[in-house]
């Protein structure tokens, strides 16, 4: 197999594009794909300040690396959930990357702020672990972007994540979710813009990117996600992709280009107001983060206070 750019020996094949690349041109290809995606979905411009939500995994670190290489002013946010050794290890990876590139990383640690981690908080609420954790992460991302003056939050969701979510929404015909699923969720009523610049690239490509670029990342999946339905959907889509390369890309893109518009007229824009406790946007009196933290016996405002301090520093210099 030869690189389609230079004819040198290829190190990586991308079957759905009927292409293979050497290391140098693989990086170039993936970077170009991200740049194209940012432009196609009008995610942000070089003037914007981006907050990359990093987990220490391949996707988010590759995303941050690519955004920096493309010249976007991007700072990192790591949410330390206090999940056994997994959180420590993944934090180490995020920190190592930030230091190697000399860029700020803001670490929000649940245990440092509340004295307890995600496992304790989830147990105290009636929600499933993943849904309680998702709520907290979304809240922290949003409030960090708002307090830190970021123009957009970029997450490492890749094509596998997006198509797995889409398949799940389609298997149950969840119209509201279908109407909202987007690689670019514009800012509205205090909710920061959220973008997914990797939505056209696969997990496998992101792993290859990190390997070639020498980016150390945590290999383990979150130990709490074992048996998650989304993993089953990914397995299923991989089966289809292997027998018909391009299936995922076509599924996702044709949804965005042709399918989704049919669900749009029914999307009800619920009005957002300020949470009586923390001022963050909510559809009810008190936002679900404050309610969840109250149920777990914590003062939700401790987060905002600690975040303001953190943002006044230069990020990782504060943690080390």
Of 3 and 256, CB closest to a copy of itself = 256
Residue 153, H or E segment:
strand 152-154
Least Cβ distance, residue 199 to a copy of itself (angstroms): 16
- Ordered DSSP codes for 215-284: -----SPPGGGTT-HHHHHHHHHHHHHHHSTTHHHHHHHHIIIIIGGGGGGG---PPPEE-TTT--EESS
Site of interaction with a copy of itself (CB under 8 A) = 170-173, 175, 229, 232-233, 235-236, 239-240, 243-244, 247, 250-251, 254-255, 257-259, 262-263, 266
Contact predicate 75/51, CB 8 Å: yes
Q: Please give the structure tokens belonging to residue 256.
A: 């965005």
CB atoms within 10 A of CB 98: 25
Of 9 and 172, CB closest to a copy of itself = 172
Contact predicate 310/318, CB 8 Å: yes
Of 123 and 232, CB closest to a copy of itself = 232
Contact predicate 177/218, CB 8 Å: no
Of 23 and 247, CB closest to a copy of itself = 247
Of 16 and 96, CB closest to a copy of itself = 16
* Spatial distance between the Cα atoms of 288 and 306, rounded to a whole number of angstroms: 19
Least Cβ distance, residue 233 to a copy of itself (angstroms): 8
Of 163 and 288, CB closest to a copy of itself = 163
Q: Please give the structure tokens belonging to residue 124.
A: 């105290």
Least Cβ distance, residue 37 to a copy of itself (angstroms): 19
- Angle between helical axes of 203-213 and 58-69 (0-180°, round to 10): 60
Least Cβ distance, residue 255 to a copy of itself (angstroms): 5
Least Cβ distance, residue 251 to a copy of itself (angstroms): 5
Least Cβ distance, residue 105 to a copy of itself (angstroms): 38
């Amino acid at each position: 197999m030869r690189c389609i750019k230079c004819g040198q020996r290829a190190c990586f094949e991308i079957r759905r594009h009927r292409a293979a690349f050497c290391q140098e041109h693989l990086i170039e290809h993936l970077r170009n794909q991200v740049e194209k995606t940012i432009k196609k979905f009008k995610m942000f411009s070089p003037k914007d300040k981006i907050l990359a939500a990093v987990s220490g995994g391949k996707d988010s670190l590759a995303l941050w690396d690519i955004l920096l290489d493309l010249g976007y002013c991007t700072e990192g946010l790591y949410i330390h959930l206090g999940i056994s050794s997994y959180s420590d290890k993944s934090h180490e990876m995020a920190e190592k990357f930030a230091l190697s590139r000399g860029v700020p990383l803001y670490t929000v640690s649940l245990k440092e702020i509340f004295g307890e981690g995600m496992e304790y908080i989830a147990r105290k609420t009636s929600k499933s672990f993943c849904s309680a954790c998702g709520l907290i992460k979304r809240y922290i991302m949003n409030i960090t972007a708002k307090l830190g003056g970021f123009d957009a939050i970029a997450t490492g969701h890749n094509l596998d994540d997006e198509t797995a979510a889409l398949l799940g929404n389609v298997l149950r015909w969840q119209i509201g979710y279908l109407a909202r699923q987007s690689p670019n969720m514009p800012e509205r009523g205090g909710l920061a813009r959220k973008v997914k610049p990797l939505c056209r690239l696969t997990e496998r490509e992101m792993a290859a990117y990190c390997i070639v670029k020498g980016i150390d990342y945590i290999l383990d999946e979150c130990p709490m996600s074992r048996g998650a339905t989304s993993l089953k959907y990914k397995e299923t889509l991989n089966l289809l992709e292997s027998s018909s390369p391009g299936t995922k890309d076509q599924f996702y893109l044709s949804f965005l280009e042709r399918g989704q518009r049919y669900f749009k007229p029914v999307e009800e824009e619920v009005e957002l107001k300020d949470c009586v406790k923390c001022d963050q946007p909510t559809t009810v009196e008190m936002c679900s983060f404050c309610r969840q933290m109250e149920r777990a016996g914590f003062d939700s405002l401790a987060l905002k206070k600690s975040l303001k301090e953190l943002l006044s520093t230069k990020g990782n210099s504060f943690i080390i």
